[in-house]
């Protein structure tokens, strides 16, 4: 039996849709087969387990997601402009694919070198230009003295934590999924302005 590329692509598309709707634990192979319009036996022929299917999909998503996000830091914008663009781009992406941050954290802890090499190749995330720019703007008196690495961690943490803790945040705030997404949309400006105000002279 020869594997058909169009069938494999249909499975991957269906699996991504099911995983995003139900999460890794809630998704069943039968759900994916139904979404793809095939039987479960054929699904298992292409992908032996749900774990392997999940890994393949989200590794591809992460490989396109992370470099694109970090590339924002390589533009010619000011530090303030980069913070605004980073928050906007990052939150937009994680709202579309909320399980990606969890997948990334799991994979980084499980196989850090292998995962990062698959995503970034032999390169490091492109942050040197951003770090240098921060130091230059501190020297120019545009921003307060701040450790570049801590600034980046602060931005990342404020953007990603609500998604990682979404069940708790939705419970505390009494938010349904739509309201949570609306809240995340508002956080694009909330986070960027909080960070900018903390370093503005």
pLDDT of 22-80, one tens digit each?
777 788 999 999 999 999 999 999 998 888 888 788 777 777 777 788 889 989 999 99
Domain 1-48 has CATH 1.20.810.10: no
Give residue limits of the domains in the chain: 1-48, 58-199
* Spatial contact of 128 and 120, defined as CB atoms under 8 Å apart: no
- Does the fold of domain 58-199 match that of domain 1-48? no
The architecture in CATH of the region 58-199 reads Orthogonal Bundle (1.10)
Give the global pTM: 0.76
Which pLDDT score, from 0 to 100, does residue 3 have? 60
Mean pLDDT over residues 81-108, rounded?
86
C-beta neighbour count of 111 within 10 angstroms: 12
Cα–Cα separations (whole angstroms), residue 111 to 116, 117, 183, 194 = 8, 10, 33, 34
Cα–Cα separations (whole angstroms), residue 173 to 71, 180, 184 = 33, 9, 13
Using CA atoms, how far apart are residues 28 and 22, in angstroms rounded to an integer? 9
Q: Which among 166, 172, 170 has a CA at the least distance from the CA of 102?
A: 166
Q: Which among 84, 101, 105 has a CA at the least distance from the CA of 187?
A: 84
């Amino acid at each position: 039996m020869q594997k058909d590329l169009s069938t494999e692509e249909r499975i991957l598309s269906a699996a991504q849709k099911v995983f995003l709707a139900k999460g890794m634990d809630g998704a069943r192979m039968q759900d994916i087969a139904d979404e793809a319009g095939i039987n479960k036996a054929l699904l298992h022929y292409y992908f032996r387990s749900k774990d392997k299917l999940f890994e393949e999909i989200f590794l591809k998503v992460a490989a396109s997601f992370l470099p694109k996000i970090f590339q924002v830091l390589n533009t010619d914008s000011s530090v303030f402009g980069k913070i605004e663009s980073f928050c906007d781009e990052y939150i937009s992406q994680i709202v579309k694919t909320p399980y990606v941050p969890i997948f990334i954290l799991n994979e980084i802890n499980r196989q850090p070198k292998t995962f990062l090499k698959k995503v970034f190749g032999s390169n490091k995330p492109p942050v040197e230009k951003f770090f240098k720019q921060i130091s230059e703007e501190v020297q120019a008196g545009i921003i307060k003295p701040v450790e570049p690495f801590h600034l980046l961690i602060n931005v990342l943490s404020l953007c990603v934590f609500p998604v990682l803790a979404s069940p708790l945040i939705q419970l505390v705030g009494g938010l349904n999924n739509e309201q949570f997404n609306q809240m995340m949309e508002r956080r694009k400006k909330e986070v960027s302005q909080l960070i900018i105000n903390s370093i503005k002279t």
